[in-house]
Amino acid sequence: MSLLNFAELAVKTCQKLGADETEAFIQSQQIVEVVLERAEIQNERFKTQSGVGIRVIKDKKLGFAFASKLSKESIEETCKVAISLAKASVPNPEWVSLPSKERLPKTPEGIFDPEIANISGDEMLNLVINAYDAAKGYDKRVDIDDGKFSAILNEIVVANSHEVEAQEKTTRIEGYLVCVAKEHGETSSMAYEYDVSTILKEFLPEKIGRSAAEKALSSLHPKTVESFTGKVILDSDPASFILFYPVISSVNADNVQRGRSLWAGKIGEKVAASKLTVFDDGLMPRGVGSLNFDFEGIPRQKTPIITRGKLEGFIHNSYTANKEGRKSTGNAYRESYNMLPTVAASNFVINTGKKRLDELIAEVDKGMIVRRFSGNVRPESGEFSGIAKQASYIENGQIKHALRETMISGNAFQALKDIIDIGCEIRPTEIRAYTPSILVDNIQIISKQ
C-alpha cells in the first residue's frame, strides 16, 4: 500500500466510524547521519521512520491519535482511538471546518534533489571529512569538539474528508561543527557553524569547517570593556533569534487572536525602521521550508509581513483563518506526524540591504559585533538578554579585540525601530528565517566593570 492509500484508508475508516470530519497526515523519512564526538567521527546512522497522525472532529470536538506503524490494522486501531478521544473531549464552539480542496500551485523549484535522496553512507562520510579537514587545516590551534551531518529524504501526504489530497517529496542536507581554539593553556568559547540546503551541490562542508575555525580563532585572547550603550552588529543567527523570533511570534494569528501579540490591531502601523521589509514565502525556490502545500494540504503562498517598516499582515492556518472568516495563508505546520498543526513561518525572508559585513563594521564608532548569542528572548514582550559569543569590540570602524564575559540586553520591538543598516548576504537560520547581518543602535552592553 502506498502512503496515500494509508491516508485514504484512515479518512474512510474514521468517517465510517461516525466522524464529522477527518484528516490524515503521513510522514516518512530516511536519514543518513554522521556524528562527530570528542574531535573524531564517532558513528554513522541509517534511520528509517514513518508514521500517521489522524485528526477527527465530531460535534465540534477534536480528537487526535498517531502511530508509527503503517499497516491496515494499525491505522484502523488509531482511527478508533482518535474517535474515542473526540467523544471524550469538550466541544470548541469556534470550530468551523477542516480546509476544502484547492488547486495547488506548481511545486517550487529545487526542493527535491535525487542526489540527496540516494546519498550513500560513504559519500556522507566524505562530506564530513571535507568539513573536518577544512577546520583542522585552517590553523593548528583549532580543535573540533563535536558535530553532526544529516541527509534527509522526507515524504509528506495529507488527505482529508473534504477531498484534500496532497503528496510531495523533499530533501535537505544539513551539518554543523563546533570548534574551539587553544593557545597557551587558554581555551576559546565554543564556535558554531552550520549550513543547510535542499540541493547537494549547494551544500558547502568546507565552508562550515573554515568558518567554524575562523570564529573559534577570532574569539581567542578576549578582553573586557566597560559597560555601555551602543551599536551592535548582529550576525544572521543572533539577528534571527533576537529580532525575528519575536516578529514571527507577533504575526502568528493564533497569538494575535489570543492576546499574546503586541501587534494585534496594528496592521498599517509603523513597527520597524523603514529599511526593513519582510515576507513569508512558502514557494521560494530551494527554500528549506518550501512546498506547494502546507501541512493541512492547502496552497502555500507569499505573504507580505513588513513593508518598509509598516506591518502588513499576519500568518494563518485554516483554524485561525476560519475564526476571522478569511482565507488561510497556508502556514499550517507540524513538527512531526505525532503533533497537531500549529501556525508557523514557512521561509521567513528578510530583504537584504547593500552593505557587506566590513562596510557595516566601518559604520560603527563604538560598539560590537555578535556572531553567536547564548541567551533568552521573550517572544511576547520582546525582552532579550544573554551572553554575546564570538563577539568583538569595534571602535572607529575597526575590530579591536574579542570580548569576554560580555552580555547584551534590550527589547526586540525597540531594536526593530533602531535598525541602522542591513547586510547584503542572507542565510537560513534555525527558525527558517532567511536573515542578513543587521546593525542596530541603543543595545545595552554589559560587563562586570
Partner 1 sequence: MVALDVLKKSLQKRPEGYVELRHHKRQTFNISAKDGKIDTLNSGAIEGACARVLINGSWGFASSTMLEEEKIDKMLKDAASLAKSSKSKKKRVVKLASLKPHVDRYETSMKKDPRKAGKEDLVSLVIDVDKAVRDFSKIIVSDTVTFNIVDDNLAFISSEGSEIHQRIVRCFGSVTVVAREKGNIASAYESIGEQSGLEVLEKTPLMNVGLTAAERASKLVSAKVAPAGYYHVILENRIVGLLAHEAVGHCSEADLVFGGSFLANKIGERVASEKVTLVDDGVFPNGFGTMKYDDEGVPTQKTVIIEKGVCKSFLHSRETAQHFGVNPTGNARAWNFEFDPIIRMRNTYIEAGDYTLEELAEDIKEGFFLKGGLGGQADFNGEFMFGTQEAIRIKNGEFAESMRGVTISGNAFEVLKNVDAIGKDFIMRVGLCGKEQINYVGMGGASLRTKVLMGGAK
Out of 227, 268, 269, 400, which residue is the one contacting partner 1 (CB under 8 A)?
A: 227
Out of 158, 190, 253, 402, which residue is the one contacting partner 1 (CB under 8 A)?
A: 190
Which of helix, strand or coil describes residue 163? coil
For residue 355, what is the DSSP state?
A: B
Which of 129/199 has CB closer to partner 1? 129
Which of 254/421 has CB closer to partner 1? 254
CA distance linking residue 348 with residue 371, whole number of Å: 20
Site for partner 1 in 340-399 (CB under 8 A): 340, 374-376, 378, 380-381, 383, 385-387, 389
Stretch that binds partner 1, among 181-189, 290-298, 305-313, 429-437 (CB under 8 A): 181-189
Out of 12, 207, 221, 260, which residue is the one contacting partner 1 (CB under 8 A)?
A: 260
Which of 167/385 has CB closer to partner 1? 385
Q: What string marks each residue from 89 to 108 as x (binds partner 1 by CB under 8 A) or -? A: xx-x-x--------------
Nearest alpha carbon to residue 349 among 270, 430, 428: 428
> What is the Cα 209 distance to its own chain's centre?
22
Which of 13/347 has CB closer to partner 1? 13
Which residues, listed in sequence order, are joined to residue 377 by a DSSP beta bridge? 384
What angle, 0 to 180 degrees and rounded to 10, lies between the N-to-C axes of helices 3-16 and 72-88? 40
Site for partner 1 in 418-447 (CB under 8 A): 444, 446-447
If binding is defined by CB under 8 A, does position 118 make contact with partner 1? no
If binding is defined by CB under 8 A, does position 125 make contact with partner 1? yes
- Could you tell me the three cell numbers for 295? 501541512
- State the nearest-atom distance from the C-beta of 315 to partner 1, in Å: 18
- State the nearest-atom distance from the C-beta of 278 to partner 1, in Å: 21
Stretch that binds partner 1, among 40-48, 206-214, 351-359, 416-424 (CB under 8 A): 40-48
Q: What is the CA radius of gyration of the chain?
A: 24
**Is the separation of the CB atoms in 315 and 252 below 8 Å?**
yes
Amino acid at 236: S
- 352 CB-contact burial (10 Å; exposed 0-12 / middle 13-18 / buried 19+): middle
Site for partner 1 in 194-213 (CB under 8 A): none
**Is the separation of the CB atoms in 342 and 317 below 8 Å?**
yes
**Is the separation of the CB atoms in 249 and 261 below 8 Å?**
yes
Q: What string marks each residue from 292 to 331 as x (binds partner 1 by CB under 8 A) or -? A: ----------------------------------------
CB neighbour burial string for 403-420, b if at least 16 within 10 angstroms, e if fewer: bbebbbebbbbebbbbbb
If binding is defined by CB under 8 A, does position 69 make contact with partner 1? yes
Which of 89/351 has CB closer to partner 1? 89
Which of helix, strand or coil describes residue 447? coil
CA distance linking residue 335 with residue 175, whole number of Å: 19
* CA-to-CA separations, 67 to 24, 158, 337, in angstroms, rounded: 11, 15, 9
Out of 145, 155, 363, 418, which residue is the one contacting partner 1 (CB under 8 A)?
A: 145
Which of 360/388 has CB closer to partner 1? 388
If binding is defined by CB under 8 A, does position 73 make contact with partner 1? no
If binding is defined by CB under 8 A, does position 140 make contact with partner 1? no
If binding is defined by CB under 8 A, does position 143 make contact with partner 1? yes
- State the nearest-atom distance from the C-beta of 12 to partner 1, in Å: 20
